[in-house]
Chains A and B, each alone.
Chain A
């Protein structure tokens, strides 16, 4: 098993699927000649040529809509958004067209499109480039949303997304692109809708997704070392479909839950997870469910303050101790 970066894992997933299925096309701003704004698609143009790896103009509504139309006729486009923040100018295409076409046609038309790119704050670029729209998009039936936290999950989820017959939106994280981890060379997928227990524990369940998983794992180590607390970390991996069983199983074991996400708190993913826990595991709880999310304001530019705005290891530790009190 090779140790590769999250970025290389995503690229490996695309290379595998480009080789496996001639209908797979990679499309987006600067994905080909420029080798990708974040170098995720580096080298693919050279390997697969301009028919399969396509540079688009800065025209998200146009090229995402084009990909949706092409997918209806059997192409399997993997569209890169330089930032998921830019999806907002293509919202009608992403939600109304991709998300509704199968339903409104009574199942006659499928839309096997993948849209991928980074969706994260923490990079000192201000509010317009720091959106995390997984909750917004996952609130639309017809759409699937995944948020890989590790290189293994990034490759497996992206491969599953490309093979999936529904629209799947893959939200990556620029801060994770250089993170390294073990990734099998052989073919595998991570099924969409299956959470992963990234750390086993007995006293507290932390539920997280995306980079919040990495933050939570660091916090769990401190909680163990400094406070003698055994923390279980559940990585959702997929927002919709949601692996309710893995969340509930963990809460039934630890009887306490802390939910961590980099979204703003209002109507975040964890609002739904908190509802799930109180609805299906109310009697199991020994304490109220707590949340740690970004401070509820547009993303601040100032780097020092932005680091405080987002869930930090310190904030997760402090909130965990409140749940355990």
Chain B
């Protein structure tokens, strides 16, 4: 990686961190409804993997989707406005926190049902292969998703049909408020389940963005050159509850969180590494973090000042054919009912 690329990567991680921390304040002000699943602590996973993607590489994830969105280049404004349900949001206030999308940047969401995106990601990889392109689909999920049937069906199809999909299990240790030991048979290694499907797998230290990049690059090579799938299990940790609705008091102790924050924080560790490498200076780091904070502040104001969708907007974007009625559409009749 060039010096510039390293600084850019650190900048992106810092932006995710500050965006998420700004979200907490807005949530506490009561401006974000529904669920808010924060990515704080997991930044190196999205940053390390997504920073490797090329023009025919796609990605899709579950509901903890803000970090991935910012990594592909979504703006903080559209992301923040989506959280507050504004028409200027990336999904025009129709998706919310769990449903970010940027298909123009190969980002296919943002999916609310645990594991439900695994077959979709496999299908995106199928489409890439069908079209004869050298690409892939990074299909992210949490450790809780590995017990969903849809994930296993996707594993089987991906391997059976040699699809260029990389299943990335972001293992933060807890499926909602249930620890891995209490939810998963053979909890030591979730990636190893790939063996049952004759798939390659690897485990990665998700606190080290260099390691994430190095091992993901091997999986991407396998996808691009052999059209074969991989399961990557990336060990990581989230500092906040499953969502902001989770008081986080029953299933882990504060000491555990503190240990991760103090000793394994991926943003801090990367900053220290770049200082050691003399890529960063303390001043430059301060500038980067100040800019990210200011950007998040501006996004909060943008979200505040943006208008809501209208009553008429409720019934838009349900059907392509309804939004584009004309001589060429194949539908007639009543499709949206009173």
Contacts and interface: CB of A to CB of B under 8 A. Distances in A.
The reply to whether chain A is a binding partner of chain B is: yes
Contact of A69 (B99, B113, B124, B160): B124
Interface of A: 25, 51, 56-57, 59, 61-75, 92-93, 96-97, 101-110, 112, 141-142, 144, 160-161, 163-166, 189, 191-195, 238, 240-245, 272
B124 A72 contact: yes
Contact of B330 (A64, A69, A164): A164
A240 B335 contact: yes
A144 B333 CA distance: 12
A191 B332 contact: yes
Contacts of B153: 59, 61-63, 65
A62 B318 contact: no
B154 A164 contact: no
Nearest to A160: B330
Contacts of B108: 69, 72, 109
Given A72-B123, A166-B321, A109 B101 contact: yes
Given A62-B157, A105-B91, A107-B317, A241 B123 contact: no
A281 to B, nearest CB: 15
Nearest to B309: A106
B103 A61 contact: no
Q: Find the residue from B120, B137, B156, B318 having the highest chain A CB count within 10 A.
A: B120
A281 B128 CA distance: 52
A92 B331 contact: no
Contacts of A72: 103, 108, 120, 123-124, 127
A64 B150 CA distance: 10
A102 B331 contact: no
Contact of B116 (A65, A103, A112): A65
A62 B121 CA distance: 11
A242 B103 CA distance: 31
Contacts of B94: 103-106
Contact of A110 (B117, B320, B337): B320
Contacts, number: 196
17 contacts: A61-B150, A66-B119, A69-B119, A69-B125, A74-B127, A75-B127, A92-B150, A104-B91, A106-B89, A142-B318, A164-B330, A164-B331, A191-B331, A194-B333, A241-B333, A241-B334, A272-B337
Contacts of B320: 102, 107, 110, 112, 165-166
A92 B113 contact: yes
A70 B130 contact: yes
B94 to A, nearest CB: 5
Contacts of A192: 330-333
A13 to B, nearest CB: 13
Contacts of B122: 62, 65-66, 69
A109 B336 contact: no
A194 B124 contact: no
Contacts of A69: 60, 108, 119-127, 137
Nearest to B126: A70
Contacts of B92: 106-107
A190 B121 CA distance: 33
Given A70-B130, A103-B317, A164-B331, 19 more contacts: A59-B157, A61-B153, A62-B157, A65-B118, A69-B137, A70-B124, A70-B126, A75-B126, A96-B116, A102-B317, A103-B318, A104-B94, A105-B99, A105-B103, A106-B89, A108-B101, A109-B108, A241-B333, A243-B333
Given A72-B124, A106-B94, A97 B330 contact: no
A62 B109 CA distance: 18
A108 B91 contact: yes
A63 B123 CA distance: 8
B149 interface: yes
A59 B156 contact: yes
B130 A241 contact: no
Nearest to B102: A108
